[in-house]
Homo-oligomer: A and B are copies of this chain.
Amino acid sequence: MTVLIIGMGNIGKKLVELGNFEKIYAYDRISKDIPGVVRLDEFQVPSDVSTVVECASPEAVKEYSLQILKNPVNYIIISTSAFADEVFRERFFSELKNSPARVFFPSGAIGGLDVLSSIKDFVKNVRIETIKPPKSLGLDLKGKTVVFEGSVEEASKLFPRNINVASTIGLIVGFEKVKVTIVADPAMDHNIHIVRISSAIGNYEFKIENIPSPENPKTSMLTVYSILRTLRNLESKIIFG
């Protein structure tokens, strides 16, 4: 598989290290040369690329998606908080209608998107509670504090780097059905996501507690492995979920 990776931060570097690629192109405004990676100086989708992975930022999703959708590629998107912006969201899905691309939203830092995607038409509401160390939100707090409660759109303005999970869920069930709670807890050294789904088919609760990676405490290794799974599924003869 020949891949274009947008973003050579912690996730991009891990994909280069762990992925099984024939050829890797990378686009990133700030990175230096990385062995085994063909660096693009201007953004483009080379014609031998079958799969594009975005692991840069919501801004990158907004800037490059429409160009990517002109190509017959698998497009894997991680920074889904870009879609909390309704104007961009409508433009993207309108372009996708006539695009030769297929778009993949990996489960990222959570799980249970299989059940959510199966019953999406029957969901009454989804509540997402994220518990984080205060410093990861740029806060200095003594006690456990609810720092936000509201819609994905509002959360995306206040915590733009922290609502990919909520945005992906919003894309599945509709943003108006999703309620976000962000809790800062000084006793935590890692993130916990609790997703509660109420639907006519059943009620589901997913508790996700990712262990920080010693080498990159800020990177969710689950996110990296969820991208690798999506890549693997493109070619695999056995697909779960």
Contacts and interface: CB of A to CB of B under 8 A. Distances in A.
A113 interface: yes
B107 A118 contact: yes
A205 B204 contact: no
Contacts of A101: 237
Q: What is the oligomeric copy number?
A: 2
Contacts of A115: 107, 110-112, 208, 222, 226
A114 interface: yes
B104 A239 contact: yes
Q: Chain A contact residues (Cβ within 8 angstroms of B): what range?
A: 35 or more
A145 to B, nearest CB: 24
A148 to B, nearest CB: 23
Interface in A3-62: none
Interface of A: 96, 99, 101-107, 110-119, 122, 168, 171-172, 200-211, 221-222, 225-226, 228-229, 236-241
